[in-house]
Chains A and B, each alone.
Chain A
Amino acid sequence: MAMAIRSLLIFLCIQSIAVPTFSLYEDQAGLMDWHQKYIGKVKHAVFQTQKTGRKRVLVSTEENVIASLDLRHGEIFWRHVLGTDDAIDGIDIAMGKYLITLSSEGSILRAWNLPDGQMWWESFLQGSSDSKSFLFVPTSSKVDKDNTILVFGKGSLHAVSSIHGDIVWKVDFPDESFEVQEVIQHHDSNIIYVVGFVGSSHFDVYQINAKNGELLKHDSAAFDGGFSGEVSLVSKAKLVVLDAARSTLLTISFQKGEISFQKTYISDLVKGFSGIAMILPSKLTGLFAVKTITATTFISMSSEGQLEVVDKINHATVISDALSFSEDRQAFALVQHGDSDIHLNVKQNHDWSSDLLKERIKLNQQRGFVHRVFMNNYVRTDKSHGFRALIVMEDHSLLLLQQGEIVWSREDGLASIIGVTTSELPVEKEGVSVAKVEQNLFEWLKEHMLKVKGALMLASAEDLAAIQGMGLRSSEKSKMTRDHNGFRKLLIVLTNSGKLFALHTGDGRIVWSLLLNSLRQSEACENPTGINVYQWQVPHHHAMDENPSVLVVGRCKPSSDALGIFSFVDTYTGKELKSFGLDHSIAQVIQLPFTDSTEQHLHLLIDTSGQAHLYPRTPEAVSIFQLEFSNIYWYSVEADNGVIKGHGLKSNCDGEVANNYCFGAREVWSIVFPLETEKIITTITRKSNEVVHTQAKVVADQDVMYKYISKNLLFVATVSPKASGDIGSATPEESHLVVYVVDTVTGRILHRMNHHGSQGPVHAVFSENWIVYHHFNLRAHRYEMTVIEIYDQSRADNKDVWKIVLGKHNLTSPMSSYSRPGVTTKSQSYYFTQSVKAISVTSTAKGITSKHLLIGTIGDQVLAMDKRFFDPRRSVNPTQSEKEEGILPLTDSLPIIPQSYVTHALKVEGLRGIVTVPAKLESATLVFTHGVDLFFTRLAPSRTYDSLTEDFSYALLLITIVALLVAIFVTWVLSEKKDLSDKWR
């Protein structure tokens, strides 16, 4: 009989191995997951509203996205994400049907079909030197055959046919350091003027024949004061530029082969001017704007070159480019900030005093200042000219203004997430009855009747659609209270713009958003950037009456030695509790595993000089900290020097910043990689909050292996310096990849392994006692994934049950890093066909559920792979007992099963990170993937073994039970009757 049970078990095991994937049915898409599409902060925008049909705006963004947006609703018609190193320099519309983009510092020119976004042609522009790049699409009124685009890039001027992308001609300028500032082509003339600077004090004008690229004329003139970059083309032959000291305006006229300079001191025009000025980039005729520290001054230029101040605005102001909306009439938009609203003025170029349009728009305070404005015109129903403006805000959001209202807005700041954490939702307060949540009884009954119908396969197609719709908008999943299973949470994300968003995990909606004042430009902090967001206070004991809060850490400048910034935000209300600047820099933020009596997490901040600062700055925190003072260690990685150092704490720090919360550090250990043979490319540690259920792993034949579980392990990957470039830059002989597992307390190297002929980039994930990393094998010309598992030998002899019963074991003895570790490692490599952008691993509440690796593939999808595929103990012919344990037969490559893409049909464009958060339910884990897009889903790596599925019909169960009870009762009555009649017979 035992044999029979055994065979049954094997059968079940094999059954479970055979389908180790989880997939969903078509109608389940969107039930547990949501997907949001973004584009990023808009850099350029061109409108396409001339033709009939759907009006659209074409934009390029700082996330290297080009997109076509619906002008009515702001939805994306089509979108392309260019690579991370393919920054867009300019976009324009050519021939009314192509979108032309210039990218990669002026070396790639592409044309996209406007209606559907298909690429029409692509041209690579070669050149000798790196230079500013420039796209100029002549606006010729008549569509002639040789419609050419002028592109300056890589030091030469190219004329490219807009029909098929061929280079018609190319001009190399004799002077290599010639920096083109403007390309001017007068209306339907054959002469192109190219103006620019050579060095800092020479102004050059080239005249080029537009037909064949022949250099017609070259004029040059020198100016002693030098130039400072920004140029404003005021009229067809006049430029305004600042001198090198940025205090004098220079008007340069270059018509008819003569170059003349005219100097005007800004202090003559603007009273009380001091410091430096800046010309705002704009393309207006007869007008330009000069920005000083205090104000923005608009200066007009008469045809004789006389400068005159027309207006001076003290608020933050943004102007758009000029737009010609009818014959010889040009307008531009001017946006100023009021107290709580913005003023949009549309003015004509030559007439400052009157406004074509004057609007005042109420705006959410959380959007900050207007950064860019793009203007478009339309014809109103009364045949007059109307104007709409597309504005880009400080928080990277995009808004369309028309008729004094916000027509639509897009939160495109979410395309650049730099930090993610989660927060629990409020506990459901008493007094909220079920009836309140479920709208009314009739609705509830109807819903359940539908579900019953669905379960009994009686539902029609309409009913099915209704059931699916119900699931999608189920009020249950987007409620603002904590749920029993821990599926509902708030995702707190910090974006590049310094705005904090709280997203609901149920449907992905923005619960609140906050533009952090401490991360905005100010006098104290000129260019602040966010670093990350951490959980600061997580109340468990006072969950009913205290709100959790998060800590946002930033620094004043992007360089690491800048002073730090702290900001605390309440996660329920979205209000900033307090914020302050720190008196030290931030190199590392370490969340300590201690909390004080108010359940604030203790944080240790390491500055660039190696001193440690404790937060919160309370005596209580110090007293908690002192208890574990001698047991706190951390490490630092200096990738450029090839050094990893371990640090321990020393007494309070000395120097001018001495206080009770500052501690000195000492170097405890160091590892020096020889720079000529090894270069650090990746370091990774375990997640500090990871839970491991058991240390013991029962292997075949009732044997036990003990996992070496230490939180202080660091995985380091180094490559030979030659192989640190792209794949293919080094031969297999000269490239090698060495991986290390280092104990960060003692600096002990626990494992060291050399992959000859392999190179990076290395993406790795570290969990429990194993590491999986992805690298390229040059000899096999394939990507590989290697697993290392670390086992503890010192506990290996605790196998005897009697020993454990009698307490003669060392399982409960505390582990010390200072003991000499007896570890064994097992490792194995497998081929993997895809290159990888990120790797993560599922995490669950108690760590019982088996793990899945989440691999962000090059196709911007997330692939879930069972950890069993990465088992180093896989062998070609697993024995019966190994099969029972769940070991798969060895294969040389890892299978990619299409059903195991957790993103199913969707793509997370520009994928950057995968964050996993455990739910309260042990079998479930929440996965949040961010890039340009956001994607969230809930996974059950071992299926939901501990709960019923969401579509489980309780009503059906109830009805069945009731029916059974009725049946029992009826049959009981019947049998009683029969009995009685039998007895009377």
Chain B
Amino acid sequence: MKKPALFRVFALFLVISSLHAFQSDELDEEFGLEGGNLQPQEQILDPVVPTRSTPTRGKYSDSDSDSKIQITLEQAFGDSDFFPAATFSARLKTWSHGAQTLTKLRFSRNSFTEVEKQKFQKLLEEDEFYRIRLPSNVLNPTGKDFVISSVRARCLPRDGLDEHFVIHTEGVNILAVNYGSPGACPYPRQLRFPAKWSFNSHTVLKNSEQAPRTPTFAEDVPGELGEGETVPPPERSFWAKYWMYLIPLGLIVMNAMTQAMNLPEEQATGQSGAQPAAAIQRGPSPAVRRR
């Protein structure tokens, strides 16, 4: 399984580099999967402004069958009804174990008509919601269950209208769509009209991330608090190891030295002790003078 996957990635690289002419560089899900399974399985699709149907089918020689499906993105201005605005085309991949997943999502957006432009301008002025929705079940849309997302219209305009989709899927079901501006949308939101009325779309397809495994240790390794296993600390300098002994020692030595220095002094004063005593007796001390 590993070899074909690697081969596929390699082939994909070739394809990506060869597809540079038209601005769609798509990543397959295997791309993110190999290597780190802790990474979220993301597919990043860069803006595909006008989509062209690219003959990608031939590149895959899998036994897994896959088919193409179309998902309609609907939009609403404020509290209006939803009507189609764009289509996602995706590939439905059926794995050998029966599970189906959506891959290779591609997006084509209809640009705003004049009426829609006016409606959007009104939204911008009122700081209202621009809402989108996708069917939650893409295989057989019941027309009932939709995942909805909305954004304050003022978050979208930059040069054009920048939008960012994050589509969370679970198998063939769309769990949620997160819609918003690709960057920040600081509050309070300023009224700003886009320079050009074309959408600049980014789409990310997200699958569930795998939870990290609980670490397992052999029986003997950790103690109750994990203290048992301490790696011998790196060799420290003599000073770092024994400073707590050295400092008191130094202090004692210093103390002893000062005492030793005082001793001869005292002896010296002791010898001449009689004189100052006599002097005190003779001359009255300042304290005495105060009285």
| A and B from one complex | yes
A-to-B contact residues, CB < 8 Å: 3-4, 7, 17-18, 630, 643, 648, 650, 666-674, 677-678, 738-739, 746-749, 751-756, 758, 777, 780, 784, 786, 794, 813-816, 818-820, 827-831, 876-877, 880, 888-892, 895, 897, 979, 983, 985
In-complex Cβ contact of B215 among A18, A671, A752, A892 (8 A): A892
Residue among A630, A820, A828 having the largest count of chain B Cβ atoms under 10 Å: A820
In-complex Cβ contact of B127 among A630, A777, A888, A889 (8 A): A630
B160 in the interface, Cβ–Cβ < 8 Å? no
Contact A668 B129 (CB under 8 A): yes
Chain A residues lying within 8 Å of B243, measured Cβ to Cβ, are 3-4, 7
Chain B residues lying within 8 Å of A751, measured Cβ to Cβ, are 209
Chain B residues lying within 8 Å of A753, measured Cβ to Cβ, are 208-211
In-complex Cβ contact of B147 among A18, A672, A888, A983 (8 A): A672
Q: How far does the Cβ of A984 sit from chain B's closest Cβ, in whole Å? A: 9
Are A752 and B210 CB-contacts (below 8 A) given A678-B170, A983-B287?
no
**A670-B146, A678-B170, A754-B210 known; 6 other A-B pairs, CB under 8 Å?**
A3-B243, A17-B225, A671-B147, A672-B173, A820-B184, A829-B213
Q: How far does the Cβ of B266 sit from chain A's closest Cβ, in whole Å? A: 17
In-complex Cβ contact of B166 among A674, A748, A756, A827 (8 A): A748
In-complex Cβ contact of B151 among A18, A754, A818 (8 A): A818
User: Smallest CB-CB separation from A631: which chain B residue?
Assistant: B187
Chain A residues lying within 8 Å of B268, measured Cβ to Cβ, are none
Contact A819 B148 (CB under 8 A): no
Residue among B146, B189, B206, B215 having the largest count of chain A Cβ atoms under 10 Å: B215
Q: How far does the Cβ of B158 sit from chain A's closest Cβ, in whole Å? A: 13
1/0 contact trace for B271-291 toward A, CB 8 Å? 000000100110001011000
Distance of A755 Cα from B209 Cα, bound (Å): 9
Chain A residues lying within 8 Å of B173, measured Cβ to Cβ, are 672, 674, 677
Distance of A643 Cα from B136 Cα, bound (Å): 11
In-complex Cβ contact of B79 among A666, A738, A979 (8 A): A666
Is chain A's binding surface mostly helix, strand, loop or mixed?
mixed
B182 in the interface, Cβ–Cβ < 8 Å? yes
Question: In residues 175-196 of chain B, which contact A (Cβ within 8 Å)?
Answer: 175-176, 178, 180-187, 189
9 interchain residue pairs of minimum CB distance: A889-B226, A672-B136, A818-B185, A674-B173, A819-B184, A829-B214, A671-B176, A754-B208, A748-B178
In-complex Cβ contact of B229 among A674, A780, A831, A889 (8 A): A889
Chain A residues lying within 8 Å of B214, measured Cβ to Cβ, are 777, 780, 784, 829-831, 892
Contact A827 B186 (CB under 8 A): no
Distance of A819 Cα from B178 Cα, bound (Å): 12
Distance of A780 Cα from B166 Cα, bound (Å): 34
Are A888 and B226 CB-contacts (below 8 A) given A3-B240, A819-B181?
yes
User: Smallest CB-CB separation from A666: which chain B residue?
Assistant: B79
Contact B210 A18 (CB under 8 A): no
Distance of A891 Cα from B221 Cα, bound (Å): 9
Contact A749 B176 (CB under 8 A): yes
B84 in the interface, Cβ–Cβ < 8 Å? no
Chain A residues lying within 8 Å of B287, measured Cβ to Cβ, are 979, 983
Contact B166 A813 (CB under 8 A): no
Contact A819 B209 (CB under 8 A): no
Are A668 and B150 CB-contacts (below 8 A) given A674-B175, A820-B183?
yes
Distance of A746 Cα from B148 Cα, bound (Å): 10
Contact B185 A672 (CB under 8 A): no
Chain B residues lying within 8 Å of A780, measured Cβ to Cβ, are 214
Chain B residues lying within 8 Å of A17, measured Cβ to Cβ, are 225
1/0 contact trace for B25-42 toward A, CB 8 Å? 000000000000000100
Are A752 and B146 CB-contacts (below 8 A) given A780-B214, A819-B184, A889-B226?
no
Contact A816 B136 (CB under 8 A): no
Chain B residues lying within 8 Å of A827, measured Cβ to Cβ, are 211-212
Chain A residues lying within 8 Å of B178, measured Cβ to Cβ, are 746-749
Contact A674 B136 (CB under 8 A): yes
Residue among B182, B185, B211, B217 having the largest count of chain A Cβ atoms under 10 Å: B211
In-complex Cβ contact of B186 among A4, A813, A891 (8 A): A813
Contact A816 B150 (CB under 8 A): no
Contact A738 B208 (CB under 8 A): yes
B155 in the interface, Cβ–Cβ < 8 Å? yes
Are A671 and B175 CB-contacts (below 8 A) given A814-B187, A818-B181, A892-B215?
yes
Residue among A673, A749, A985 having the largest count of chain B Cβ atoms under 10 Å: A749
Are A816 and B184 CB-contacts (below 8 A) given A671-B175, A752-B208, A892-B216?
yes
B-to-A contact residues, CB < 8 Å: 40, 79, 127, 129, 131, 136-137, 145-152, 155, 164, 166, 168, 170-171, 173-176, 178, 180-187, 189, 206, 208-217, 222, 224-227, 229-231, 233, 239-240, 243-244, 247, 277, 280-281, 285, 287-288
Residue among A4, A670, A673 having the largest count of chain B Cβ atoms under 10 Å: A670
Contact A829 B212 (CB under 8 A): yes
Q: How far does the Cβ of A448 sit from chain B's closest Cβ, in whole Å? A: 39
Contact B180 A746 (CB under 8 A): yes
Chain A residues lying within 8 Å of B185, measured Cβ to Cβ, are 816, 818-819
User: Smallest CB-CB separation from B127: which chain A residue?
Assistant: A630
Are A829 and B222 CB-contacts (below 8 A) given A674-B170, A892-B216?
no
Contact B227 A889 (CB under 8 A): yes
Chain B residues lying within 8 Å of A983, measured Cβ to Cβ, are 280, 285, 287-288
Q: How far does the Cβ of B81 sit from chain A's closest Cβ, in whole Å? A: 13
Contact A820 B168 (CB under 8 A): no
Contact A892 B217 (CB under 8 A): yes
Chain B residues lying within 8 Å of A813, measured Cβ to Cβ, are 186
Chain A residues lying within 8 Å of B136, measured Cβ to Cβ, are 672, 674
User: Smallest CB-CB separation from A668: which chain B residue?
Assistant: B150
User: Smallest CB-CB separation from A648: which chain B residue?
Assistant: B129
Q: How far does the Cβ of A718 sit from chain B's closest Cβ, in whole Å? A: 10
Chain B residues lying within 8 Å of A820, measured Cβ to Cβ, are 164, 180-184
Chain A residues lying within 8 Å of B206, measured Cβ to Cβ, are 749, 752
Contact A818 B148 (CB under 8 A): no
Chain A residues lying within 8 Å of B226, measured Cβ to Cβ, are 888-891
Chain B residues lying within 8 Å of A985, measured Cβ to Cβ, are 277, 281
Are A818 and B213 CB-contacts (below 8 A) given A748-B166, A748-B180?
no
Are A672 and B79 CB-contacts (below 8 A) given A18-B227, A891-B222?
no
A/B interface sample: 9 pairs, CB < 8 A = A4-B240, A643-B145, A672-B176, A674-B137, A752-B168, A813-B186, A820-B164, A876-B215, A892-B216
Contact B151 A7 (CB under 8 A): no
Contact A746 B79 (CB under 8 A): no
Chain A residues lying within 8 Å of B150, measured Cβ to Cβ, are 668-669, 746
Contact A670 B210 (CB under 8 A): no
Distance of A752 Cα from B181 Cα, bound (Å): 21
Contact B187 A747 (CB under 8 A): no
Q: How far does the Cβ of B177 sit from chain A's closest Cβ, in whole Å? A: 9
Contact A669 B280 (CB under 8 A): no
User: Smallest CB-CB separation from B240: which chain A residue?
Assistant: A3
Distance of A830 Cα from B213 Cα, bound (Å): 9
Q: How far does the Cβ of A13 sit from chain B's closest Cβ, in whole Å? A: 13
Chain B residues lying within 8 Å of A784, measured Cβ to Cβ, are 214
Chain B residues lying within 8 Å of A667, measured Cβ to Cβ, are 148
Chain A residues lying within 8 Å of B184, measured Cβ to Cβ, are 794, 816, 819-820
Distance of A748 Cα from B168 Cα, bound (Å): 10
Q: How far does the Cβ of B144 sit from chain A's closest Cβ, in whole Å? A: 10
Distance of A704 Cα from B222 Cα, bound (Å): 30
Distance of A895 Cα from B227 Cα, bound (Å): 12
Chain B residues lying within 8 Å of A650, measured Cβ to Cβ, are 79
Residue among B148, B175, B240 having the largest count of chain A Cβ atoms under 10 Å: B175
Distance of A897 Cα from B233 Cα, bound (Å): 28
Chain A residues lying within 8 Å of B175, measured Cβ to Cβ, are 671-674, 749
User: Smallest CB-CB separation from A984: which chain B residue?
Assistant: B288
Chain A residues lying within 8 Å of B233, measured Cβ to Cβ, are 880
Residue among B129, B164, B214, B216 having the largest count of chain A Cβ atoms under 10 Å: B214
Contact A749 B168 (CB under 8 A): yes
Contact B212 A674 (CB under 8 A): no
Chain B residues lying within 8 Å of A794, measured Cβ to Cβ, are 184
